Structure 1
Amino acid sequence: MPQHSDRLAAEPGPIAARAALRVDGMPALAPALVVLAFALLWFGTLGMRHLLGPDEGRYAEIAREMLGSGDWVTIRYDGLKYFEKPPFHMWMTALSYALFGIGDWQARLCVALAGAAGLGVSMLAAARWFGARAGLMAGLVLASAPMWNIAAHFNTLDMTLSGAMACVLASLLLAQHPAATPAARRRWMLACWAAMGVAVLTKGLVGVALPGLVLVLYTGVTRDLSLWRRLHAPAGIALMLLVAVPWYWLVAQRNPEFLRFFFIHEHWQRYTSTVHARTGAPWYFVPLLAGGFLPWLGLLPGMVRAVTQRAGVAHAAGIALPFQPALMAAIWALSIFVFFSLSGSKLPGYIVPMFPALGILGGVALTQSCERTWSRQLRAMLLLGAIGLLASPLVAKLDANNTPNALYRNYAIWAALACALVLASAAAALWLLRRRGRMASVTGYAFGMLLAFSIALLGHEAIGRAASGIDLVAPIARVLRPGMPLYGVGMLDHTLPFYLRHPLTMVAQADELAFGAAQEPRKWVPTVAAFADAWQHGPRAVALLSPQAFAELSARVPMHVVARDWRRVAVSNFPLAGREACRLVSDSPAIP
């Protein structure tokens, strides 16, 4: 496709965006109102749910312990060394605590900012290569893609990594634009390398391995080896190492056991074996990709055409093989999908880094599609929304994953509301298409999809509140004192320690803290017999047990119930005062 002659393609992002909206007859104030509405929904919902285990509670608690101890090098979880992941995400979360206090929204602020940053840079790259309208459309597609917006509201490393990887892709695209000056190309490539350093600090070698794989495949397909000369590799590699290496060097100096565990166990064995028990078929990510990009699946034919027709390719004097931005985005998405599909360890969040590339291609497809194509997309979503609404009562019949059916019945109402919003958003977008044009229709549709999936996520509090154990916090906090042991007997509770501001001491089963327990065996209790002795003859303590473990152990040692729910029983090894016992019983949540 020839280079865009539209002057908007060369304009700065905000000016071009305002001009693009004016073309469709929308008010000049519309961009600001759209950004405000999306921002309020994006950031305003961060604290409306309690944290879920394992990931949200784990990383929230690691950051809390990091801030409390002042040790930002040796990562600890429940007081034990924890070297499964690098520290960047936890650093940012601890900084959020330092600035705004400790809480749910502060724990999720890092991922929300990473998601927003990924949106911004993807829009900028798309606007630069494909025009301002494509940049706006790319942002709308990415913001309303369920996998992206849901990941941006879960306190896990996946979105922090994905935000950094989005910066890698966008910076590379911006640096390779033929109109970029040598100075601009150098700045963008240095930004690309720095973002790779952040990715390596977030989740290890995958932060440099995936971009390297994409680059090798791209140059293999295009035979454009000249791209390698435009990477500013010497300065860029030095910058990347400057960002990433100091922590790795410091933590290895202080903990000689780190290097083998992190690079062999957490990288090589995780990818090549099932040692982490997170297996999945080769097609594991196919339904996740379909669901994660559901509102925009109708764009796939247009996205493929954008690649095959070399969308955005600009021929410049002296360049025999022009850079192909759409092909680069496609290879980026496919490489990440295939790489993790072949891995021996699979989790849903692994493919989140591919979505910025899909958003860019989706934005291009939207600008090139006709109104009839867009209308068919909306009618398909009308049908899917109606099917989802009719099927939502099935949620009320679920009883799985050790979650009581009563909680699913509560969530069924939220699922129905989310499906109703999908239906209403598609209908409203059809109305806007006829009355206000395609830009207004796409904008309304994208916001409606974001709202619908946000409602589905917020409604999960019907299940997540009980899972988090927040209702047990008040009665436990009344008897738990600073320095008092809090035992986890055969269970690693990922959320209560964060809410209680008190780390757990593992008993009998170290779970994912096995490495740390092996390094510092004095910090855990390896057997139930040793726990029973400490419980009867040691200082005052509180313990968390499963209902089954409580039934077994309470027959052997004295245990005074502090609080309980369907998942845990909190007990003390000392009797509770009469008035306090009454208060605890009245505060303890009902078991569904």
Structure 2
Amino acid sequence: MPHRSDRLAAEPALGLAQPAAPWHAARVAGVPALTLSLVAIGFALLWFGTLGVRHLLGPDEGRYAEIAREMLSSGDWVTIRYDGLKYFEKPPFHMWMTAVAYTLFGIGDWQARLCVALAGAVGTGMSMLAAARWFGARAGLMAGLVLASAPMWNVAAHFNTLDMTLSGAMACVLASLLLAQHPAATAAARRRWMLACWAAMGVAVLTKGLVGVALPGLVLVLYTAATRDLALWRRLHAPAGIALMLLVAVPWYWLVARRNPEFLRFFFVHEHWQRYTSTVHARTGAPWYFVPLLVGGFLPWLGLLPGMVRAVTQRAGVAHATGTRPPFQPALMAALWAVSIFGFFSLSGSKLPGYIVPIFPALGMLAGVALTQASSRAWTRQLRAMLVVGAIGLLASPVVATLDANNTPNALYRGYAIWAALAFALVMASAAAALWLLRRQGRMASVTGYAFGMLLAFSIALLGHEAIGRSASGIDLAAPIERVLRPGMPLYGVGMLDHTLPFYLRHPLTMVAQADELAFGAAQEPRKWLPTIDAFVDAWQHGPRAVALLSPQAFAELGARVPMHVIAHDWRRVAVSNFPFAGELQARRRVPDSPAIP
């Protein structure tokens, strides 16, 4: 009779099922699944775990956090309001998502940034999926590491603005288009991915307007002009896709225009046409404005640029199919995506740093290809170059301690200089560790360690900005003001639009004398603001109890005209009331008359 072990050894030959290998023993692109899981957890902890460490900065972070808070408080998710006034500069998707985060998790700093962090993570994941499909699993992993550690991408994903929400949606547009055009995709898969592409465009339009469809359209036109692949247009499932995009985007536009007839002209003429073709928004810049931002934003991976160019010129990922139909060129599509968007905004009359964030997923995919093809020698040169960059930055970091700009006191820059030095030291340490890993564990371990180190270094640089950002946010004034301010009490912003303190006070401002970016809303609802200082003086003296925020200079001028009881102050603002309160004498002991630290 055969021994039991002999029978077991013979069972596979008889076709009997074998137990599945444990998941942690599996490999993806030659990397153990357990290792990948640990790396993903490490990146996720650093990505999401730092959202609430810093306080909000103005203007963007405070503005969009407060709009979402007012949206949730009022229950009106159609007519966007900021400080109680109509605010039609941007569509609502980002604010909707933030209001949902408030509903689920409460109101706070990390909740205000959750939308952008998720957008960055989703954009990274979709870019990895598309790169893996076209260029191989290893290229997909590399693309994710590059994108997560690119400074412009990870900083934008931790800064509460619309730029990253738009960029996450645009990354999904590009990735879905690439996945749909893969030659191995079935007809059903191609349709699903193209519908996902159109839906993502609808989200982009609902996030920042017509650029959500104009930019992908521009890229598509340039791609077909370069390749003469007009058949691509027939593979876009345009009728169903356009219907889906309109279904996502149009209902809000229709509702808000119906309730606010003034919306259409302001949004499409002032916020689109005039913003792009003129300098009416006073955000000018030279045609090369974005060049240093691109260099700094992609700094850890700039050495891959020659390999990225080769990936395009050698048509990486192209399946050389027989027949007359031109093969789809994913690397060229990614390159044109980056170049077109960069050129589009470089020609614009209005420029802000975040405008070029949507190009980074395309750069990440091309860099992933370049990393898989780069020699160990080339990768070593990249790491040594970053050692030099880190050393130069470390030696130059004391310069930060000498700054005294943008009305920010030098004492705050001195505090931040330590964090800047630490960040550059981490850049050096990461490059050195990657060199060691390259010799001991190989390319994949080296790139992974380097990418995580770069993400950590630039996260430290961002988190350290709290040395400046805390006082700028006004959070230290919130508690004393809250002891005096009551619900329904006017909170005046005298000649200043404070973008952050109203969010921390959960109380909107009433603008005085200068409407700032709320000029459109103030013109639509003039009863909701005080257009002159004389009107404020009258309301302050004869109106109900109120609190006001002023600059130190404005306080020095107005304090001589009307009684003002100091609640609290910092280097940029003084909070006062028109009535006495307990603790007033202590608060008034020293009032700043210049932008210096009290």
TM-score when scaled to structure 1? 0.95
Q: Distance in 1 between matches of 2:306 and 2:108?
A: 44
Aligned counterpart, 2:481: 476
1:274 equivalent in alignment to 2:302: no
The alpha-carbon deviation at position 316 of structure 1 amounts to: 2.9
2:584 is the counterpart of 1:581: yes
- Structure 2 residue identity aligned to 1:413: I
User: 1:64-79 to 2 correspondence within 5 Å?
Assistant: 64-79=69-84
Asked if the contact 2:83–2:508 (Cα under 8 Å) also holds between the matched residues in 1, the reply is: yes
Q: Residue 29 of structure 1 aligns to a residue in which SS?
A: helix
Contact 1:17–1:136 (8 Å) recurs in 2: no
Residues in 1 aligned to 2:25 and 2:373: alpha-carbon distance in whole angstroms: 17
Tell me which residue corresponds to 2:574: 569
User: In the alignment, what sits opposite 1:382?
Assistant: 387
Partner of 1:223: 228
- Tell me whether 1:251 sits opposite 2:256 in the alignment: yes
Pairing partner for 1:111 from 113, 116, 120: 116
- Shift of the alpha carbon at 1:584? 4.6
- 1:336-372, CA deviations, whole angstroms, 9 ceiling, x for partnerless residues? 0000000000000000000000000000000011100
Q: How many residues align?
A: 573
Q: State the Cα deviation string for residues 312-342 of structure 1 (Å, max 9, x = none).
A: 0012344520000000000000000000000
Match of 2:378 among 370, 373, 376: 373
**1:414-446 superposed Cα distances (whole Å, 9 cap, x missing partner):** 000000000000000000000000000000000
Matched, 1:206 2:211: yes
**Using a 3 Å threshold, how does the CA distance of structure 1 residues 33 and 571 change in structure 2: closer, same or farther?**
same
Which residue number corresponds to residue 597 of structure 2?
Answer: 591
Query: Given residue 529 of structure 2, which amino acid in structure 1 is its aligned partner?
Result: W
Please give the residue correspondences for 1:315-326 in structure 2 after superposition, counting only pairs within 5 Å: 315-318=320-323, 320-326=325-331
- Counterpart residue number, 2:35: 30
Q: Does structure 1 conserve the Cα–Cα contact (< 8 Å) formed by 2:24 and 2:34?
A: no
Residue in 1 that maps onto 2:437? 432
1:455 to 460, 471, 478: 460
Matched to 2:401, the amino acid is A
Tell me which residue corresponds to 1:178: 183
1:19 aligns with 2:27: yes
Corresponding residue SS for 1:487: strand
Q: Using the alignment, how far apart are the partners of 1:276 and 1:16 within structure 2?
A: 54
Aligned equivalent of 1:261: 266
Distance 1:385 1:587 in 2: 43
Q: CA deviation at 1:100?
A: 0.2
Partner of 2:416: 411
C-alpha separation in 2, matches of 1:410 and 1:280: 30
1:351 & 1:425 partners in 2: Cα distance? 27
- Contact (CA 8 Å) 1:17, 1:132: kept in 2 or not? no
* 1:29 positional shift: 1.2
Shift of the alpha carbon at 1:585? 6.2
Structure 1 residues 536, 586: closer, same or farther in 2, change over 3 A?
closer
Secondary structure at the residue paired with 1:386? Answer: helix
Partner Cα separation in structure 2 for residue 581 and residue 389 of structure 1: 46
How many angstroms does 1:587 deviate by?
Answer: 12
Once residues 170 and 402 of structure 1 are traced to their aligned partners in structure 2, the CA distance between those partners, rounded to angstroms, is 43
Task: Tell me the distance in 1 between the aligned counterparts of 2:329 and 2:528.
Answer: 55
Determine the structure 2 residue equivalent to 1:9: none
1:299 equivalent to 2:304? Answer yes
> Following TM superposition, by how much is the alpha carbon of 1:575 offset from its aligned partner in structure 2, in angstroms?
1.3
How far is 1:47 from its partner? 0.1
In 1, Cα distance between equivalents of 2:127 and 2:24: 15
Counterpart secondary structure, 1:425? helix
Query: Once the 2 structures are TM-superposed, how far is the Cα of residue 134 of structure 1 from its aligned partner?
Result: 0.1
Q: 1:356 corresponds to which residue?
A: 361
Distance 1:537 1:175 in 2: 67
Aligned to 1:488, the other structure's residue is in SS state: strand
Q: Does 1:533 align with 2:538?
A: yes
Contact 1:81 1:516 in 2 (8 A): yes
Aligned counterparts, 1:467-546, within 5 A = 467-546=472-551
Give the letter for the 1:62 counterpart: I
Q: Contact 1:474/1:587 (CA < 8 Å) preserved in 2?
A: no
**Residue 565 of structure 2 contacts residue 584 of structure 2 at CA under 8 Å; is this kept in 1?**
no
Aligned to 1:286: 291
- Hey, what's the Cα distance between the residues in 2 that align with 1:588 and 1:384? 44
Runs of 4+ in structure 1 off by over 2 angstroms are 15-21, 315-320, 580-592
SS in 2 for 1:491: coil
Aligned match of 2:141: 136
Query: Once superposed, what is the RMSD of the aligned Cα atoms?
Result: 1.6
Distance in 1 (CA, whole Å) between partners of 2:79 and 2:364 is 37
**3-state secondary structure, aligned to 1:321:** coil
Go from structure 1 to structure 2 and tell me whether the alpha carbon gap of 1:455 and 1:588 turns closer, same or farther (over 3 Å shift): farther
Q: Which residues in structure 2 correspond to 1:46-61 (within 5 Å)?
A: 46-61=51-66
- Shift in alpha-carbon separation, 1:549–1:582, aligned structure 2, 3 A: closer
Contact 1:299/1:365, CA 8 A, preserved across alignment = yes
Whether the aligned pair in 2 keeps the contact of 1:471 and 1:588 (CA below 8 Å) is no
Residue 343 of structure 2 corresponds to residue 338 of structure 1:
yes
Supply the distance in 2 between the matched residues of 1:27 and 1:284 (Cα, whole angstroms): 43
Counterpart code for 2:334: A
**Structure 1 residue identity aligned to 2:27:** A
Report if the CA contact (8 A) 1:472-1:588 is conserved.
no
With a CA cutoff of 8 Å and minimum separation of 6, indicate the structure with the bigger relative contact order.
1
Q: CA deviation at 1:97?
A: 0.1
* 1:508-564 per-position Cα deviation (integer Å, ceiling 9, x unaligned): 000000000000000000000000000000000000001111111111111111111
| 8 Å contact kept, 2:427–2:454 | yes
Letter in 2 for 1:220: A
Q: Tell me how far apart the structure 2 counterparts of residues 121 and 192 of structure 1 sit (CA, whole Å).
A: 11
**Partner Cα separation in structure 2 for residue 460 and residue 216 of structure 1:** 42
CA contact (8 A) 2:311 2:331 kept: yes
Aligned to 1:152: 157
Residues 195 and 109 (structure 1), Cα distance of their counterparts in 2 relative to 1, 3 Å cut: same
Residue identity matched to 1:385: G
**Letter aligned with residue 56 of structure 1:** E
Q: In structure 1, what is the Cα distance between the partners aligned to 2:324 and 2:430?
A: 46
**Cα distance in structure 1, aligned partners of 2:481 and 2:261:** 38
Aligned-partner Cα distance in 2 for 1:368–1:85: 42
